[in-house]
């Protein structure tokens, strides 16, 4: 990872002007409504003033100052996400795209293995996959190749660069657009993979995804585990700098504009509970992720 001044210089070269974007303040915990308890970092790794705060009641952490949902939509649509990843990783924008694709392909392989181990579905509905936050489309394509029926990725970060030339793939911009077009359509597998940390309102977004889940279907959600991310950053900086980093400096390095949400195990469980999901299996997606396959809580014991 680059130093802060190197990142700042790269962002300056991108012609990024934060003041030209619309920002909002979120004064209450998006999960439980409590006021913020601790300011973890005033700044993000890119130099934005974001006020990363934590909630004492539920353990969630969030960006109290961030872009509005409409501005985030523009941010992804215009490719800023990829450019920022490239700036902080020291890669070129093309390399960043390549590493994201590699990341998606690795997850696609994990998906293939995990799906083979899941208990058989009741089979009352035609198999269909909804991939919320479809990114480049690779994970959806993997699901299609695994002979799931229809595959429906939504909210693609980069439709132009997508790998959606697979059969039976029906893409939508977001879950609301999908719901308006097909109000009764349900899915036997709903994927929320490497996506929930990017939501402005994780409760509403996951509830919308659960509403599309067939009664006997599975929802697979993957959280970045903030506690593990923090420990990894501590180890990384301990070996790369001569002085000891403070907690505030570590949070500064972890905070990023494109992650309004920071989950720990406790707050992830709370999100599942609040959205009517019952964990049925925990998977090892990567050492810093908490990956959970769920069913509807109401279908427990069916």
Q: Which residues bind Zn ion (CB under 5 A)?
A: 29, 31-32, 34, 55, 57-58, 60
Shortest distance, CB of residue 59 to Zn ion, whole angstroms? 7
- Cα separation, 294 vs 174, in Å, equals 22
Rg (CA), the chain: 19
Shortest distance, CB of residue 249 to Zn ion, whole angstroms? 25
Looking at the Cβ atoms of 30 and 134, the one nearer to Zn ion is: 30
Whether residue 197 contacts residue 259, with contact meaning beta carbons closer than 8 Å, is answered with yes
Helices marked H in the chain: 4-13, 69-77, 80-89, 93-117, 138-145, 175-181, 202-211, 226-240, 247-254, 265-274
Shortest distance, CB of residue 36 to Zn ion, whole angstroms? 9
- Cα separation, 211 vs 220, in Å, equals 14
Shortest distance, CB of residue 238 to Zn ion, whole angstroms? 30
Question: Which phi-psi region, left, alpha or beta, contains residue 51 (left: φ > 0; alpha: ψ -120 to 50)?
Answer: left
Q: HSE of 161 in the Cβ direction (CA atoms, 13 Å)?
A: 16
Looking at the Cβ atoms of 267 and 291, the one nearer to Zn ion is: 267
Looking at the Cβ atoms of 29 and 210, the one nearer to Zn ion is: 29
Looking at the Cβ atoms of 62 and 76, the one nearer to Zn ion is: 62
Q: Position of tokens 């908490």?
A: 290
Angle of the 265-274 helix axis to the 202-211 helix axis, nearest 10: 50
- Cα separation, 226 vs 54, in Å, equals 12
Looking at the Cβ atoms of 29 and 111, the one nearer to Zn ion is: 29
Shortest distance, CB of residue 259 to Zn ion, whole angstroms? 17
Looking at the Cβ atoms of 55 and 152, the one nearer to Zn ion is: 55
Shortest distance, CB of residue 270 to Zn ion, whole angstroms? 8
Shortest distance, CB of residue 261 to Zn ion, whole angstroms? 11
Whether residue 290 contacts residue 282, with contact meaning beta carbons closer than 8 Å, is answered with yes
Looking at the Cβ atoms of 40 and 152, the one nearer to Zn ion is: 40
């Amino acid at each position: 990872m680059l130093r802060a001044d190197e990142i700042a210089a790269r962002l300056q070269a991108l012609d990024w002007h934060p003041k030209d974007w619309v920002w909002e303040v979120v004064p209450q915990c998006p999960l439980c409504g409590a006021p913020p308890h601790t300011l973890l970092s005033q700044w993000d790794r890119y130099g934005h003033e974001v006020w990363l705060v934590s909630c004492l009641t539920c353990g969630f952490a969030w960006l109290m100052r961030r872009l509005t949902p409409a501005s985030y939509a523009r941010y992804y649509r215009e490719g800023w996400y990829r450019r920022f990843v490239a700036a902080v990783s020291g890669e070129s924008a093309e390399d960043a795209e390549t590493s994201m694709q590699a990341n998606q392909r690795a997850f696609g392989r994990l998906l293939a293995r995990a799906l083979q181990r899941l208990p058989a579905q009741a089979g009352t509905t035609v198999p269909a996959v909804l991939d919320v936050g479809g990114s480049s489309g690779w994970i959806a394509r993997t699901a299609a190749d695994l002979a799931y029926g229809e595959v429906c990725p939504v909210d693609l970060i980069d439709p132009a660069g997508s790998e959606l030339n697979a059969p039976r793939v029906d893409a939508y911009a977001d879950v609301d657009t999908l719901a308006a077009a097909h109000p009764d359509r349900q899915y036997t597998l709903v994927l929320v993979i490497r996506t929930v940390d990017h939501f402005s309102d994780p409760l509403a977004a996951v509830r919308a995804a659960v509403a599309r889940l067939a009664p006997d279907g599975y929802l697979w959600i993957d959280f970045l585990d903030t506690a593990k991310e923090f420990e990894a950053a501590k180890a990384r900086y301990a070996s790369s700098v001569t002085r000891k980093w403070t907690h505030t400096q570590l949070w500064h390095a972890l905070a990023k504009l494109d992650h309004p949400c920071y989950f720990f195990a406790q707050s992830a469980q709370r999100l599942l509970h609040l959205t009517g999901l019952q964990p049925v299996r925990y998977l090892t997606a990567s050492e810093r992720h908490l990956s959970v396959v769920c069913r509807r809580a109401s279908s427990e014991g069916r």
